[in-house]
Structure 1
Amino acid sequence: MMIKLYLKKKSLLVGVLLLAGCEIGPDYERPKIDISENWSEKINQSAPFSEDIKWWKNFNDPVLTALIHAATESNLDLKVSEAKIAQSRSLVKSAEAGLFPQFSLSGALTHRQNSRNAYTSPQQSLGKRFYDLYRGELDTSWEIDLFGRLRRAEESAVASLDLSISDAHGVFLALIADIAQNYITLRSTQQQLRLAQKSYEKLDKLYRLNQDLQTSGLRTDLAVSQAQASRDAAYAKIFPLQATIQLLIHQLSILLGQEPNHLVKRLEEAKEIPTPPSSIYVGLPSELLERRPDIRSAEEQLKLKTAEIGIAIGDLFPKFTLTGSFGYESLKSSNLFQPRSGFFSFGPGVSYTLFDFGRIRANIESAEALKDQAFHTYKKTVLVALKDVEDSLVKLGKEILHFEHLSLSASSSKAAANLSLKRYQTGLSTFLDVLTAETAYYDNELNKILSQESVALNAVGLFKAVGGGWQSFMSLKHSS
């Protein structure tokens, strides 16, 4: 009989231990998505990304590199992201602590007056109406995670931490891309301003030449009026460009977490547009799943929502707890810690929701629906990422060809403008021919600058699309 009882107890213990190793709810599995093996558009590719890739250095612009380095230290969006990571880490610690017993210590001194008309305590039987009660107590409670609800809560907290880290990587990648794009646009606008100023100076000389020729009777009032109108129109183009330059400097200052005028002296001098590298590593489409921060964030969100299903299902099961207390209680402080003043209590507890009108089932269905939303969002994020890379490859490849042909056109229009001016000075062509040639030259040079800007911007867009750069932000890395 004793042997049978022992075997029953042992079987029960084994069953409880096996049950304690289970976790309710679905386990996370990465969704399978069919992805092409290669990109449809081809460009010159460099060597694969290293772990500490800093693609902006490939533009060989020390000012751009310095701006990005400064932004990593002072950008306010990054500081917000770091604070969110710290918050998520604290929530993970809180979830982990829930798996272990909780202890609390309390103490009290109570001065009491008993009623004369009611028996409320043993002290009244001794004739004591007024007395002091000293009490010190250590309490403990532990929810035994038999069904894995608390472990799912910990899993959810870890996924939330990974989500905040991936989001921070995305913020960093967007930041360096924004700085690079604003900086490139700034240098392009400065080149446009330089071109507009040169055009004005040239047209002003033509205006003065026509005035001199009019005085000599060699030109009509029409030529002078045409020259003046062209000169004034060229001068008017300068002011919007100057305003754009100031606005871009203000924006770059804000990206660095500084006042709008912080970078004026540093950036007001015109510089050439940064030249992107001749080859960029794009990698394989499947590599985006690990490189793109937004895809990683979407996957962590899916992990989180999967774990929350288990948390919701956990409410269907009873909750088992162990509680206990130990302490001392006495009417006198002098004998509070004597053995006779001690007391303790210990015992298991269980709570179970018997009937809730379908509330728990509804919460489970809601959690499952949220997981489905996260699943479809993940798939869409992957598809959008693939589109971003394909679009960037097309735009960069075609813009390079566009720039090459515009360069040829600009050279030809420059020669035509010089020839037209010489013919006008010798009386072989009209001033309208000169204006037409000068306008064509200005337009071609402007388009060349804009195309050069687009090549650089599209290169930045491609770096961003393939998810390069956030790996270098070491302060946001964490170990699993």
Structure 2
Amino acid sequence: MFSSKALLISRSYFFPLICAGVLSACAVGPDFKQPDPPKTSTYTETTLSKQLVTAPGVPGGSSQEFIEGADIEAQWWELYKSPELDALIKKALEQNPNLGAADAALRVAQENVNAQIGGQYFPSVSASGSATRQLQPSAIYGLPYGSDTYNLYNTSINVTYKLDVFGGARRAVEGARAQAEVAQYQLEGAYLSLTANVVTGAVKEAALRAQMQATEEILKAQTNLAEVTEKQLTIGTVSKVDVTSQRTLVSNSQVDLFTYERNLAFARNQLAVLVGELPSNANIAKFDLSTLQLPQKLPLSVPSSLVRQRPDVRAAEAQLKAQNAFVGVATANLLPQFNITGSIGSAALTSAALFGPNSALWAIGGGILQPLFQGGQLLAQRRGAIASYEQAAYQYQATVLNAFQEVANALRALETGAQALKAASDAERYSYETLDLVQHQYKLGTASYLAVLYYQNLYQQAKVKSVSAQATRFSDTAALFAALGGGWWNREGPAFKPKDIASKDQNETSGNN
């Protein structure tokens, strides 16, 4: 063991210096100030209707009402009342690789904070030991002849500590913590994007399936009419042009059917990838617009709270905080650097005497370094840090503007989408009634074939538009929840919930997101 006298000397000099350095430290550079929220009380240029137009009797046509100031549920997609959709999102939260990568990036950033704290706030302590056999000529002692051969044993503990007089270390830790916040909100953004994409993907799948079914029904009716027209050709009541025109209409509907079939396959493949599966192995459920319920109560956050709810805005703010801290680090690098070092140990010619009363040695020292000339490097680094802060400030402003734009777009889309669905459902109903009447008149010989052809096209377009308008209501509702932040702050548990985790430590870290 080291002698008690050496330990007392080390304590009497070393620890007071550390305490003095900590107490006298001040952090240079600007202190971060959270940006004020935009000064506005509304999202849109004109006043919105609190109650949206309804279209009774069709999917997505139920009533919707904006509830100002209401909070958003964490699992907002459950408002669609679809067990298949809930199961799909649960699977995506367990298997989506992009979400897993964002979770891993957060853990990397958190460990970087721990590394910065350990490296910046605490002294560096190391232990060393050596054993050497040496030969030295007597001439080094001023003797004319002879030499000495001996063993030398040495052990020591070395301590190095950088006094954070100007707060450069604290600014470095502050910047690392802000970068961890960036990673945290990027994870929340990935979570929000994933859940919203699964919802809209399921709605798209359902819409394509409905449009495909509608086209199949229309194609069947067109094929039946083509057969009737061919029979009428044989008895001379219609011309060859009427037959070829109807067959052209049948062929065009077949092309539309193949297009819907292709797009439906694409939509299902996209859902498979979102849940982290190969398209061939995904076994995605089939969705139907008629089984989805349109959320009736739509929460509408006050504009001042939007900047605290959107993950992208929070990430941009954290990035601004990090760049602000790095300005402090660059400023501190221009100022004197204070260091203290100390060591305590023992040296002896034999291992048995290594910890004897006469083998102790110690040293303590302090140093100061003031950069004088480095070719303008430090000044350039500080100017670059200031420019990076200004860049982050503009990026934050752009992110806030984009957030308000997305909410305004979603609100207007919901308002006009409700009106469009009502008009589309009316058009579908009227065009079907008209086509049915004209087809009966045609079979009785009181209507021309051109009239049938015209109203067939009219009904086909109206039917497809109606299905598209129904899907738009569901998708626009999901877009509003996503634009308002998705309620991630009300979620219990981590964003990423993998079924199989490589180690217990990873599971515990991921659970603290």
* Structure 1 position 236, deviation (Å): 1.9
* Structure 1 position 359, deviation (Å): 2.4
Structure 1 79/111 Cα, relative in aligned 2: closer, same or farther at 3 Å? farther
Structure 1 266/309 Cα, relative in aligned 2: closer, same or farther at 3 Å? closer
2:263 corresponds to which of 244, 260, 282: 244
2:28 corresponds to which of 18, 24, 27: 24
Matched, 1:345 2:349: no
Q: Secondary structure of 1:106's partner? A: strand
1:443 corresponds to which of 438, 458, 461: 461
Matched, 1:175 2:194: yes
* Structure 1 position 217, deviation (Å): 4.2
* Structure 1 position 336, deviation (Å): 2.7
Q: Secondary structure of 2:148's partner? A: coil
Matched, 1:257 2:276: yes
Q: TM-score, normalised by structure 1?
A: 0.89
Structure 1 61/51 Cα, relative in aligned 2: closer, same or farther at 3 Å? closer
Q: Secondary structure of 1:266's partner? A: coil
2:178 corresponds to which of 144, 156, 159: 159
1:105 corresponds to which of 127, 136, 158: 127
Counterpart-to-counterpart distance in 1, 2:183 and 2:197: 21
Structure 1 388/271 Cα, relative in aligned 2: closer, same or farther at 3 Å? closer
Q: Which residue of 2 aligns with 1:58?
A: 79
1:314 corresponds to which of 332, 335, 342: 332
Task: Point out the more displaced range, 87-96 or 32-41.
Answer: 32-41
* Structure 1 position 89, deviation (Å): 0.9
Cα contact 1:273–1:453 (8 A) shared by 2: no
2:398 corresponds to which of 338, 363, 380: 380
* Structure 1 position 479, deviation (Å): 8.2
Structure 1 189/25 Cα, relative in aligned 2: closer, same or farther at 3 Å? same
Cα contact 1:140–1:325 (8 A) shared by 2: yes
Q: Which residue of 2 aligns with 1:8?
A: none
Cα contact 1:169–1:470 (8 A) shared by 2: yes
Amino acid at match of 2:95: S
Cα contact 1:188–1:273 (8 A) shared by 2: no
Gap runs ≥5 in structure 2: 1-15, 51-64, 496-509
Amino acid at match of 2:30: P
Query: In the TM superposition, what whole-angstrom CA distance separates every residue of 1:334-372 from its partner, at most 9, and x where no partner exists?
Result: 333333333221222222212223322222222111111
Query: In the TM superposition, what whole-angstrom CA distance separates every residue of 1:133-168 from its partner, at most 9, and x where no partner exists?
Result: 333221111111121111111111111111110111
Matched, 1:94 2:137: no
Query: In the TM superposition, what whole-angstrom CA distance separates every residue of 1:388-439 from its partner, at most 9, and x where no partner exists?
Result: 1111111110111011111111100010011011001111012221111111
Structure 1 416/207 Cα, relative in aligned 2: closer, same or farther at 3 Å? same
Q: Which residue of 1 aligns with 2:232?
A: 213
Query: In the TM superposition, what whole-angstrom CA distance separates every residue of 1:294-343 from its partner, at most 9, and x where no partner exists?
Result: 11111111111111111111112212122111223333333333333332
Task: Point out the more displaced range, 88-97 or 205-214.
Answer: 205-214
Structure 1 271/448 Cα, relative in aligned 2: closer, same or farther at 3 Å? closer
Q: Secondary structure of 1:340's partner? A: coil
Q: Secondary structure of 1:39's partner? A: coil
Q: Which residue of 2 aligns with 1:76?
A: 97
Matched, 1:148 2:167: yes
Task: Point out the more displaced range, 159-168 or 93-102.
Answer: 93-102
Structure 1 122/140 Cα, relative in aligned 2: closer, same or farther at 3 Å? farther
* Structure 1 position 275, deviation (Å): 4.0
Q: Secondary structure of 1:343's partner? A: strand
Structure 1 255/120 Cα, relative in aligned 2: closer, same or farther at 3 Å? farther
Matched, 1:400 2:418: yes
Matched, 1:128 2:148: yes
Correspondence 1:333-372 to 2 at 5 A? 333-372=351-390
* Structure 1 position 190, deviation (Å): 0.6
Q: Which residue of 2 aligns with 1:5?
A: none
1:39 corresponds to which of 36, 43, 60: 43
Q: Which residue of 2 aligns with 1:6?
A: none
Amino acid at match of 2:42: N
Task: Point out the more displaced range, 419-428 or 433-442.
Answer: 433-442
Q: Which residue of 2 aligns with 1:294?
A: 312
Structure 1 17/452 Cα, relative in aligned 2: closer, same or farther at 3 Å? same
Give every structure 1 segment of 4 or more consecutive aligned residues whose post-TM-superposition deviation is greater than 4 Å. 15-19, 47-52, 118-126, 268-271, 476-480
Amino acid at match of 2:253: A
* Structure 1 position 39, deviation (Å): 3.0
Structure 1 89/29 Cα, relative in aligned 2: closer, same or farther at 3 Å? same
Q: TM-score, normalised by structure 2?
A: 0.84
Q: Which residue of 2 aligns with 1:138?
A: 157
Q: Percent identical across equivalent pairs? A: 25
Query: In the TM superposition, what whole-angstrom CA distance separates every residue of 1:162-212 from its partner, at most 9, and x where no partner exists?
Result: 111011111111111111111111111111111111111111111222233
Q: Secondary structure of 1:128's partner? A: strand
Counterpart-to-counterpart distance in 1, 2:152 and 2:70: 72
Counterpart-to-counterpart distance in 2, 1:121 and 1:418: 121
Counterpart-to-counterpart distance in 2, 1:85 and 1:380: 24
Gap runs ≥5 in structure 1: 1-11
Counterpart-to-counterpart distance in 2, 1:399 and 1:439: 24
CA RMSD of aligned residues (A): 2.8
Count of aligned pairs between the two proteins: 464
Counterpart-to-counterpart distance in 1, 2:375 and 2:142: 46
Counterpart-to-counterpart distance in 2, 1:125 and 1:433: 128
Structure 1 74/122 Cα, relative in aligned 2: closer, same or farther at 3 Å? farther
Amino acid at match of 1:376: Y
Counterpart-to-counterpart distance in 2, 1:198 and 1:163: 52
Q: Secondary structure of 2:304's partner? A: helix
Task: Point out the more displaced range, 222-231 or 78-87.
Answer: 222-231
Q: Which residue of 1 aligns with 2:58?
A: none
Q: Secondary structure of 2:422's partner? A: helix
Q: Secondary structure of 2:74's partner? A: coil
